[in-house]
Amino acid sequence: MVHIQGIISPIITPMNEDESINEKELRHQVSRQVEAGIDGIFAVGTNGEAYILKDKEKEFVLSVVVDEVKGRVPVYAGTGCIGTGATIALSKKAKDIGADVLSVITPSFAQASQGELYEHYRAVAEAVDIPVVLYNNPARTGNALLPATVEKLADIDNIVGVKDSSGSFDNMLQYIERTKNKDFAILSGNDSLILWILLAGGVGGIAGCANVFPERMAAIYDLFLAGKLEEARVCQESIRSFRNCFQYGNPNTVVKTAVSLLGYPVGKCRRPFDRLSQDGLCAIRQVLEEYRALGIR
């Protein structure tokens, strides 16, 4: 079993101009993250544009990531689909490719009851002998995993944790409170809350901002472990300027644009999610210049 902890980077999926996957740059970005001290790589997640990739593309991206990581850190694979059958099929494929952990987002579009969500995750967990991390992102999917449901799911052996991207600190606290007597990991999906969830009993975060400045994000966890809480707080608060840029568009687009502006040929997000206003571009450039002057990487 993989020990779920630290700062996990939801790696972007670099694209060529024709929107095909840029394997060479994907490998480069993976190694860039690992060498910066990141504790895990999460392939085909939200930042990896899983919502717009075909299944074969997801499998290709995951196979490249697994090959490039070479066991240096755990590889997480986003395998959540709308249907239970499709999620099981993709989860089995991810295990065969070599993923260490599955991240399964809630089904989307159609409204699901808590009972239906429980049965969905139970079926997936029983179909694969690999750790499963639940993924709560109700703003994107329309379905929220309530704390009582997470508590119940935590009793299933290979459901080992949950990533919460609801933005609600109280929701994460309830996850912690309801699973504190179980071997269950709570990960923040909101980069601004990582240090605070660590202090509350969580184990880290899956941090989109790591694509832009991996060393700074990794430092939040490393400094926390070292007991250097004031330095960890400074690192945590320093990402606020960049996160303020999310007001200008889809966070995935903002992150990928920033990585591109750093000089990496990662391309744009797939259409129609590929545009930012001139104000947005100027804001990102300004923040990156400020960070460069401060030595934030």
- Could you give the number of structural domains in the chain? 1
Nearest partner of 32 among 68, 5, 71, 67, judged by Cα: 68
pLDDT score, position 44: 97
Determine, yes or no, domain membership for 274. Answer: no
Q: How many residues does the chain have?
A: 297
pLDDT score, position 253: 96
**Paired residues of 240 in beta bridges:** none
Determine, yes or no, domain membership for 177. Answer: yes
Determine, yes or no, domain membership for 249. Answer: no
Among the options 118, 121, 135, 248, which is catalytic? 135
Determine, yes or no, domain membership for 271. Answer: no
pLDDT score, position 166: 96
pLDDT score, position 167: 92
Interacting residues of 13 by C-beta distance below 8 A, sequence separation 6+: 21, 26, 44, 48, 49, 53, 61
Residue 108 structural domain: 6-237
Give me the CATH number covering residue 11.
Answer: 3.20.20.70
Determine, yes or no, domain membership for 231. Answer: yes
pLDDT score, position 224: 98
Determine, yes or no, domain membership for 143. Answer: yes
Determine, yes or no, domain membership for 131. Answer: yes
135 is catalytic: yes
CA 48 to chain centre: 9
pLDDT score, position 263: 97
Among the options 93, 163, 221, 291, which is catalytic? 163
Tokens standing for residue 65 = 């990531």
Secondary structure class of 181 (helix, strand, coil): coil
163 is catalytic: yes
Interacting residues of 227 by C-beta distance below 8 A, sequence separation 6+: none
Determine, yes or no, domain membership for 107. Answer: yes
- Residues of the chain short of pLDDT 70, as ranges, are none
